[in-house]
Amino acid sequence: MVNRVAVVLLLLASALPSQAALAQGRGGRGGAPQTPPATEGAPAAPRVETAGAAEEKVSQTAHTVRLDGRDIKYTATAGTLPIRLDNGQVSARMFFVAYTKDGEDVKTRPVSFLYNGGPGAATIWLHMGSFAPRHVELAAEGFQPSPPYHLVDNPNSLIDVTDLVFVDAIDTGYSRVVSGVDNRQFHGVRGDLRAFGEFIDEYLKSYSRWPSPKYLIGESYGTIRSAGLAQELQNRHGIELNGIALVSSLLTYQTISPSPENDAAYAAHIETYTASAWYHKKLPADLAGDLKKAVDESRAFAFGEYLTALAKGNRATPAERKATAQKLARLTGLSVDFVERANLRIDPGRFRKELLRDKRLVIGRLDSRFTSIEGDAAGDSDEFDLSNSALQGPYTALFQDYVKNELKWESDLHYPSSGNVRPWSWDEFSNSYMDMTEPLRSAMSHNPFLKIFVAQGYYDMATVMGGMEYNFAHLGYDKSFTDRVSFGYYEAGHMIYIRPSAHKALKADIAKFIQGTRGQGAVKSTTQQ
């Protein structure tokens, strides 16, 4: 079987340097297996960390933020925690920044662990954008700001609802192995889960948070991590979670890996194509007024008539192909001729180039609201992703200043927002699509109180809504699972929180989710006696 995972790497919940896909990858179209680079032209990860060993220190500072007309006092703790493996020796230290509300009883106060994905992304994006008490101020509607940049109080912080622990994966941010340790053991699915499990266990022990209601908030590949981590925490540490918030969710690479052998991925993208065409006013008049109505029609078509037509392949009659092409063109803003020449199968990279080709514009992958002018308006692949690169400057500059001057944590280490974690080991997933649906189902089966909230942006072309819906339509096959999963849709892209209106709604939804899962009564066993 072709190694689909090695061909297609997910764009993270982040905005990484524009000239390279870095830890995000560019996405693929199938074909021969290849190893995706962490940085284009970069060498494979070294056996022993050479960019500076892990540092052991902690800084605590006192702060106040005003939310909804009231002042909230909190303590920020920046530092590292040791990661020990089977021999009990410290092998790495993971960097974190925790925000804890003052005056709360830790036995009842929720604590949430937040991280980005990649693989290879630091958590600077969630940290500086989503729910911390301070965040980067962007231009209107979340677009690229002009320098100089500003860090401001975050009106949509979750500090009023839960304590927050932002943590960087090893070899990203300030997280490092100790001197002499082979860092490659953390560059893979299992090693990554092991490290995050050890970190959470150590944090609960070090800060007396064992009784607290516990949550995971991961974004992009961080949602794959969350699904596996729920099982890791259960099996290795005896830790049960109250809830998991999956922001820009992906549980399997199948849904973002279109290829001649994988028609389901083509269907999974159609809803996002429709939403993107709606935003850029490329849909017919009867679909132009209501985004949800347009997407609902697209969803019904994508996983009904369209997927059936694709499954027919060459058995479809010319009339059937023509009818499918016309409906697909109507829902995507593309021409019937283009759809027919693409064999009814629209690759996401080609869609981004084609939708606004008449204006010489390319739409963004992380957020299809963004548009850019590239050197080549005739090709079928994008030069760069503006929705990716637009936030790199402000996030990086302000984070560096914030950690040093407000959090009082200094380091001589470089802070890579995209770490060199290549080659990434997919372990038992290496010859198939990466899929964490079953580990999540298992975790929910073992813990009948575990609930899931899924947040999805309409304009996210990295982790598409149709793929997310396909994932959860195959979770558990029983009402006891589906009743514990709730969904939120937002008129935003991959980084939902950069658009103020979506950010406010996302904060409200996750706050409600946490408040509704803090403590629940016992449930009856479904096992027959």
Three-state secondary structure string covering 261-316? CEHHHHHHHHHHHHHHHHHCCCCCHHHCCCHHHHHHHHHHHHHHHHHHHHHHHHHC
pLDDT tens for the chain, 529 residues long, are 334 433 333 334 333 333 223 333 323 222 222 233 222 222 333 333 335 667 788 999 999 999 999 999 999 999 999 999 888 899 999 999 999 999 999 999 999 999 999 999 999 999 999 999 999 999 999 999 999 999 999 999 999 999 999 999 999 999 999 999 999 999 999 999 999 999 999 999 999 999 999 999 999 999 999 999 999 999 999 999 999 999 999 999 999 999 988 999 999 999 999 999 999 999 999 999 999 999 999 999 999 999 999 999 999 999 999 999 999 999 999 999 999 999 999 999 999 999 999 999 999 999 999 999 988 888 887 878 888 888 889 999 999 999 999 999 998 899 999 889 999 998 776 567 889 999 999 999 999 999 999 999 999 999 999 999 999 999 999 999 999 999 999 999 999 999 999 999 999 999 999 999 987 544 343 333 2
Are 386 and 137 in contact by the 8 Å Cβ rule? The answer is: no
Q: Torsions phi, psi of 290, nearest 5?
A: -130, 110
Classify residue 318 as exposed, middle or buried by CB count within 10 Å of its CB (0-12, 13-18, 19+).
exposed
Whole-number pLDDT of residue 464 = 97
Tell which residue, 143, 117, 73, 95, has the closest CA to residue 413: 95
Whole-number pLDDT of residue 430 = 59
Whole-number pLDDT of residue 7 = 34
Instruction: Give the global pTM.
Output: 0.90
| CA–CA separation, 302 and 86 (whole Å) | 48
Classify residue 260 as exposed, middle or buried by CB count within 10 Å of its CB (0-12, 13-18, 19+).
exposed
Are 395 and 16 in contact by the 8 Å Cβ rule? The answer is: no
The b/e string for 473-508 (b: 16+ C-beta within 10 A; e otherwise) is eebbeeeebeebbebbbbbbbbbbbbbeebbebbbe
Tokens standing for residue 7: 């061909």
**Ordered structural domains, the chain, with CATH:** 58-252+393-515 (3.40.50.1820), 256-388 (no CATH)
Whole-number pLDDT of residue 50 = 38
Which of the 8 DSSP states describes residue 403? H
Tell which residue, 384, 358, 355, has the closest CA to residue 372: 384
Whole-number pLDDT of residue 2 = 36
Classify residue 202 as exposed, middle or buried by CB count within 10 Å of its CB (0-12, 13-18, 19+).
middle
Long-range contacts of 394-397 (CB under 8 A, 24+ apart): 394/136, 394/138, 394/145, 394/147, 394/149, 395/15, 395/124, 395/125, 395/128, 395/129, 395/136, 396/124, 397/149
Q: Beta 176-177 vs 214-219: how paired, if at all?
A: unpaired
Tell which residue, 232, 230, 233, has the closest CA to residue 246: 230
Whole-number pLDDT of residue 374 = 85
Q: Phi/psi class of residue 477: alpha, beta or left (left: φ > 0; alpha: ψ in -120 to 50)? A: left
Can you list the positions of beta strands (E) in 352-403? 361-363, 371-373
Are 81 and 96 in contact by the 8 Å Cβ rule? The answer is: yes
Which H/E stretch holds residue 352?
Answer: helix 348-354
Tokens standing for residue 280: 């850029």
Tell which residue, 247, 229, 243, 295, has the closest CA to residue 485: 243
Whole-number pLDDT of residue 431 = 60
Which H/E stretch holds residue 227?
Answer: helix 221-232
Tell which residue, 368, 362, 380, 143, has the closest CA to residue 269: 368
Helix (H, G, I), strand (E, B) or coil at 348: helix
| CA–CA separation, 109 and 111 (whole Å) | 7
Q: In this structure, how many other beta carbons lie within 10 angstroms of the beta carbon of residue 296?
A: 13
First to last CA, the chain: 44
| CA–CA separation, 269 and 307 (whole Å) | 12
| CA–CA separation, 94 and 348 (whole Å) | 35
